[in-house]
Amino acid sequence: MICENCKQRPAHVKMTVTQNGEPFTRHLCEVCASQLHPFQNQQDPLTVHQLLTNLFTPEQPTKQANREKSQWSCPTCGWTYERFVHRGKFGCADCYTTFGNALPPVMKRLHNGNAEHIGQVPEAFEETRDLKRRIEDIRSRMQEAIAQEEFETAATLRDQARELEAKLLKGGD
Amino acid sequence: MDMDRFLKNQVTSWMESTGEYADIVMSTRIRLARNLDGYRFPLAFTEDEAHRIEQTVTGILLDADKLPQQFTSYQMKQLDPLDKQVLIEKHLISPSLIEAEYESAAVISEDESLSIMINEEDHLRIQCILPGLQLEEAYRQARNIDRVLDREVSYAFDEKYGYLTTCPTNTGTGLRASVMMHLPALTATKQMAKIAPIINRLGMVVRGIYGEGSEALGNVYQVSNQVTLGKAEVEILQELQGLTKQLIEKEREARQALLSHSRIILEDKLFRSLGTLRYARMLSTEEAASCLSDVRLAIDLGIITHVSKTILNECMVFMQPGFLQQYAGSSLSPKDRDVFRAKMIRERLTIEEKGENSYDV
Ligand SMILES: [Zn+2]
Ligand SMILES: [Zn+2]
C-alpha cells in the first residue's frame, strides 16, 4: 500500500486519528506519520527511516561496502539489510548482530551520541556485570601497582583477577 | 443510561486530580519495552510464536502472587470494537495493539494504573499511568512488573545495546517516560512554539496529545524522553522531572502575567466557556476541548470554585467517540456525537451542582 499523504513511499504506519470527533484509519509512510504532530515546522524530526536511508546511502558509497551490506541477511528472521533500512526496525534480536557493523552511527544519531547501554540489566546478567566491574577495578589497581614498582602487590592482584575471570567463564557457560 | 453511574464506573485512577503539581501535570506515564529471548519480534514472528508469547506472559501475570493487584486479561481478537475503542481512549492500550496481525492482548490491573500490552510493536509493553507528577513511583510500579516477569522468562538483552527492541528508538532501557501537562497560558502567550525546539535539543519531545493538526487540543501536551540508550533510568527520570518543573514554573508565571495584565478579559473568557459548556446543545471536539481547558484554568486560578478539577481529565476522555457511543448505547453519526457530547458535559456539570462530591476522589 502506498502512503495516502505523499502517494510516494510505502505506507508502513497505520494511524487511528480523530478529526472532528470522527475516528478513522490513515495509512501513512513513516515520514508523513511523523509530521502529524504539532511542532513539525520547528523541530523537523528525523524519522528512523529517513535517518537510516541517509546514513546508509553516503554520497560516495564504496561499491565493495555496499555489495557486502546487500548480502547481509538475518539467519533467524530472514530480514535482509535492505528491508531493515527500509522499515527502520528490527525483525528479531539477532538482527542486532547481523546488521551490527552498521548500528553504531545509527544509535549515536538517535540517542544524542550514545551507543552503549548503561541502565538496568536482567537478573541473569547482573552477576556477570558485577564480576566484570570487579575485574576491571582490580586490573586498574594492578597497573597502578606496576607503575609504583610494587610488584608483589601487582602479582597478588593479577591472581585475584585471574580467579574472577575463571569464575566469569564458568558463569557464562 | 444514568450519567452518574456511567461516569463513576468509567473514571480511572489517572484521571483523579491527586498527585504532586496536579494543577498543571495531569498524569504521568511510564512505559517499558521488552522482548522475550528466543522468539522473533512481532514484525517477523509467526502466529504460533505470537500465541506462545501471549499464553506465557498472561499465565505469569494472572498467577503471580507477588503482584500488588488483581489483573484481568483482554484478548484483542475477542473484544468488541467499541470496548477496544474505549480502552484506547482511556490510554490503556495503543491503536497498534488492536491492529496486530496475530494474537495480541492487554493485561490490566484492577485500578487500571498498570497495563501490560502483549504483542504490540514489541512482545511486551509494560505501562503505568498515575495522576499528577509521579515519575519515580510510576517507574517503581512498572519496574516491579518487569522484575516479576524477568524471574520467569528470559529477555532479549545485549550487554552493549541493553534491552533489544523492534525500533532502534527504544533500544537500551526501553523506557519512555511522559508527563501530560495542561499549559493554557504558555499556549495563549505563544510560548510553546518557542519552547518545543529547546526541549528537542535536550533529547526530549513535546507534542499535543489529543487530536491532530497544528494545535494541542485542550492545551494538553505530552512531554517525553527520546533518548533511551546510554542513559540510566534514574538519569532519564531526573532530566524529565527537571524539565517538567521548569515548564510548571513558566506556566505559572504566564498565568500570573495574564491575570495581572488583563484579569477582567480573562475572567470574561473563562466564564463564557463555562456558559457554553453548561448551555450548548451541540459541541464539536475542538470547541469542547477549548472550553474545558478554560474552565480548568479558571478552577486553578480560583475564579471558578464549584467545579472539580477532574472535569478536564475526565471529559477529554469521555467526549471521544468510543465513550460517547458507549454512553449513548448505540452508534452515533458525527452530528449526533456533537449533541451527545454537549449532553454528557452538561450532565457532568449538573452532577456537581447538585452538590455531590462523588468525583473528588
Ligand atoms: Zn507519505
Ligand atoms: Zn533478525
b/e for B159-186, b at 16 or more Cβ within 10 A?
Answer: eebbbbbbbbbbbbbbbbbbbbbbbbbb
A162 touches chain B (CB under 8 A): no
Task: Please give the backbone phi and psi of residue B306, each rounded to the nearest 5 degrees, phi first.
Answer: -100, 10
Q: What does the angle CA B170 – CA B171 – CA B177 come to, to the nearest 5 degrees?
A: 40
Grid cell at residue A129 = 556485570
pLDDT digits (tens, 9 = 90+) for B50-88: 999 999 999 999 987 778 888 999 999 999 888 888 888
Beta bridge partners of A13: A28
Beta bridge partners of B204: B225
B2 touches chain A (CB under 8 A): no
Element (H, E) at B25: strand B25-34
Which pLDDT does position A131 carry in this prediction?
A: 84
Q: How many Å apart are CA B172 and CA B232, to the nearest integer? A: 9
Grid cell at residue B10 = 468509567
Which pLDDT does position B5 carry in this prediction?
A: 58
A45: chain B residues, CB-CB within 8 Å: 200, 205
Grid cell at residue A58 = 553516503
- Asked if residue B21 lies in contact with residue B248, where contact means CB atoms within 8 angstroms, the answer is yes
CA B169, chain centre distance (Å)? 20
pLDDT digits (tens, 9 = 90+) for A15-59: 665 444 455 677 777 666 655 543 333 333 456 666 666 665 554
b/e for B11-26, b at 16 or more Cβ within 10 A?
Answer: bbbbbbbebebbbbbb
By CB atoms closer than 10 A (0-12, 13-18, 19+), residue B141 is: buried
Closest CA to B94 of B127, B71, B67: B127
CB atoms within 10 A of CB B234: 12
Terminal alpha carbon distance of chain B: 22
B2-255, CATH topology level: Creatine Kinase; Chain A, domain 2 (3.30.590)
Element (H, E) at B224: strand B220-225
Nearest CB to B169; choose among A42, A110, A122 = A110
ipTM of the complex: 0.85
Nearest CB to A39; choose among B37, B196, B227 = B196
- Put simply, the answer to whether A93 touches B156 (Cβ < 8 Å) is yes
Closest CA to B120 of B160, B176, B198, B201: B176
Distances (CA, A) of A105 to A50, A52, A99, B204: 14, 9, 12, 20
Which pLDDT does position A100 carry in this prediction?
A: 92
Distance A35 CA to ligand 1 centre (A): 9
pLDDT digits (tens, 9 = 90+) for A54-102: 665 554 555 666 667 777 899 999 999 989 988 899 999 999 999 998 8
Nearest CB to A79; choose among B44, B88, B229 = B44
For chain B, the structural domain boundaries read 2-255, 262-351
- Asked if residue A111 lies in contact with residue B176, where contact means CB atoms within 8 angstroms, the answer is no
Residues of B forming the annotated binding site? 27-31, 91, 125, 176-180, 207-212
Beta bridge partners of B175: B32
B205: chain A residues, CB-CB within 8 Å: 43, 45
Residue A149 has pLDDT above 70, yes or no: yes
A80: chain B residues, CB-CB within 8 Å: none
Interface A:B, Cβ pairs < 8 A: 180
Grid cell at residue B20 = 504532586
Which pLDDT does position B64 carry in this prediction?
A: 74
Which pLDDT does position B85 carry in this prediction?
A: 85
Distances (CA, A) of A87 to A80, B101, B156, B158: 11, 17, 20, 22
Search chain B and give the residue with CA nearest A25.
Answer: B95
- Per DSSP, the residues of B53-94 read HHHHHHHHHHH-SS-SS-EEEEEGGGS-HHHHHHHHHTTSS-
Q: What is the CA radius of gyration of chain A?
A: 24
Nearest CB to A38; choose among B44, B208, B230 = B208
Mean pLDDT of successive 10-residue segments in chain B (361 residues)? 58 71 91 97 96 95 83 91 86 89 93 94 96 94 95 94 96 96 92 88 84 74 94 96 95 94 93 95 92 93 86 81 84 90 89 52 31
Q: Which residue has the cell 490513515?
A: A26
b/e for B292-305, b at 16 or more Cβ within 10 A?
Answer: bbbbbbbbbbebbe
Distances (CA, A) of A32 to A10, A46, A160, B209: 11, 11, 57, 18
By CB atoms closer than 10 A (0-12, 13-18, 19+), residue B229 is: buried
Gap from A151 CA to chain B (nearest CA, Å): 34
A93 touches chain B (CB under 8 A): yes
CA B21, chain centre distance (Å)? 16
Q: What does the angle CA B66 – CA B70 – CA B73 come to, to the nearest 5 degrees?
A: 115
Closest CA to B255 of B193, B188, B313: B188
Search chain A and give the residue with CA nearest B164.
Answer: A93
CB atoms within 10 A of CB B83: 14
Gap from B264 CA to chain A (nearest CA, Å): 30
Which pLDDT does position B82 carry in this prediction?
A: 84
Closest CA to B252 of B28, B25, B27: B25
Gap from A120 CA to chain B (nearest CA, Å): 7
CB atoms within 10 A of CB B270: 22
Which pLDDT does position A33 carry in this prediction?
A: 65
Closest CA to B230 of B168, B139, B154: B168
More confident site: A73 or A132: A73
Q: How many Å apart are CA B185 and CA B357, to the nearest integer? A: 28
- Asked if residue B154 lies in contact with residue B38, where contact means CB atoms within 8 angstroms, the answer is yes
pLDDT digits (tens, 9 = 90+) for B285-320: 889 999 999 999 999 999 998 888 887 778 888 888
Grid cell at residue A50 = 529517513
- Per DSSP, the residues of B84-153 read HHHHHHTTSS-HHHHT-SS--EEEEETTSSEEEEESSSSSEEEEEEEESS-HHHHHHHHHHHHHHHHHHS
